[in-house]
């Protein structure tokens, strides 16, 4: 039952964090995409929780097939979120639509492959002490077997490259720290995902139930830390406005949505008798 509990926990945590972000600023595009991202994880994990507690192999197979919808679209949504977060979204409408098309094309191919052309089969499932295990049959096309791995590795590597570039280029310390946290979280889930979902099945080792929707709790938790400590995706003032406000000689305090002071103008520092260089 521990795997089922982890599915439910992942579903709840993802939904809670996504709801928090969208409620903090529902107008920002990255918040909207992040909410859809967490909603996808939530449905995916909940679907697998139902699959894992099912005692009927036909129902388990059906629920596993439904799960293919979520794991097909997740990585493209994730890459889209990183593109927006790192300010790499095209501004020209034609280029933007082309960019979106190529971001979501692999998801469409995955959906067609795993939900319509070659869905999971009853005979590929078997019961283990931890839940339903799954191994592709030996007659399954290698392209079908390996496409999803290629898809999620490609999206993850591109996302990491964009985050590294963002970290290097940004002059805002908070954004650098946000990027570092997200990079660490992605590396953790990438390593675990390769081990549990690729290495174990390929060597025909005693398989775990599908672990992707559980392992994705890791970057979600890192994102939560980035939100709480470094205001990731929370309302903020752009760099130009912030620089202007901080340079004013009048006393200005900038608060977050919990009335904590996040920035202070030079004038306020003078009024308070604080030496900026020493602090």
Average pLDDT over residues 53-65: 97
Round to whole Å and give the CA distance between 125 and 210: 11
**pLDDT of 238 above 70:** no
Domain ranges of the chain: 2-236, 240-272
User: How many other β-carbons are positioned within 10 Å of the β-carbon of residue 79?
Assistant: 22
Nearest to 31, CA basis, from 81, 76, 89, 79 = 81
Q: Which of 188-192, 223-227, 243-247 has the lowest mean pLDDT?
A: 243-247
The pLDDT tens digits of the residues spanning 67-84 come to 999 999 999 999 999 999
**pLDDT of 239 above 60:** no
Q: Choose from 66-70, 175-179, 197-201, 209-213 the range with maximum mean pLDDT.
A: 66-70
Give the residue, 1 or 15, on which the prediction is more confident: 15
Residue 279 pLDDT: 46
Nearest to 13, CA basis, from 39, 51, 50, 32 = 39
- Cα distances (angstroms) measured from residue 77 to each of 60, 117, 127, 140, 196: 26, 22, 32, 27, 22
Confidence of residue 59 (pLDDT cuts 50, 70, 90): very high
Share of the chain above pLDDT 90, in %: 61
Q: Which of 56-70, 165-179, 182-196, 261-275 has the lowest mean pLDDT?
A: 261-275
Round to whole Å and give the CA distance between 249 and 268: 7
Mean pLDDT of the chain: 88
Round to whole Å and give the CA distance between 30 and 25: 10
Strand partners, 261: 255
**pLDDT of 229 above 90:** no
2-236 CATH: 1.20.1070.10
**pLDDT of 181 above 70:** yes
Residue 166 pLDDT: 95
The pLDDT tens digits of the residues spanning 96-126 come to 999 999 999 999 999 999 999 999 999 999 9
Nearest to 81, CA basis, from 142, 22, 131 = 22
pTM: 0.85
Confidence of residue 254 (pLDDT cuts 50, 70, 90): confident
Confidence of residue 230 (pLDDT cuts 50, 70, 90): confident
Residue 206 pLDDT: 60
């Amino acid at each position: 039952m521990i795997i089922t509990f982890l599915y439910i926990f992942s579903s709840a945590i993802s939904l809670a964090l996504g709801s928090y972000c969208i409620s903090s600023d529902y107008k920002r595009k990255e918040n909207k995409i992040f909410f859809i991202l967490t909603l996808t994880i939530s449905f995916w994990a909940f679907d697998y929780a139902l699959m894992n507690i099912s005692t009927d192999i036909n129902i388990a197979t059906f629920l596993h097939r439904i799960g293919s919808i979520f794991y097909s679209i997740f990585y493209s949504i994730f890459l889209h979120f990183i593109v927006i977060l790192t300010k790499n979204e095209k501004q020209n409408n034609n280029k933007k639509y082309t960019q979106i098309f190529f971001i979501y094309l692999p998801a469409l191919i995955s959906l067609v492959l795993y939900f319509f052309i070659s869905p999971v089969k009853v005979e590929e499932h078997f019961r283990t002490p931890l839940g339903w295990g799954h191994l592709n049959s030996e007659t399954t096309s290698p392209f079908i077997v390996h496409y999803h791995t290629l898809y999620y590795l490609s999206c993850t590597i591109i996302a990491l490259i964009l985050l590294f570039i963002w970290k290097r280029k940004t002059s805002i310390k908070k954004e650098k720290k946000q990027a570092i946290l997200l990079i660490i979280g992605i590396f953790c889930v990438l390593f675990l995902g390769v081990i549990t979902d690729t290495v174990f099945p390929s060597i025909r080792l005693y398989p775990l139930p599908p672990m992707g929707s559980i392992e994705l709790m890791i970057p979600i938790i890192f994102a939560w830390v980035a939100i709480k400590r470094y205001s990731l995706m929370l309302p903020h003032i752009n760099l130009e406005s912030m620089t202007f406000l901080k340079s004013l000689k009048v006393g200005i305090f900038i608060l977050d949505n919990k009335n904590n002071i996040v920035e202070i103008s030079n004038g306020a520092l003078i009024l308070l008798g604080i030496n900026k260089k020493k602090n």
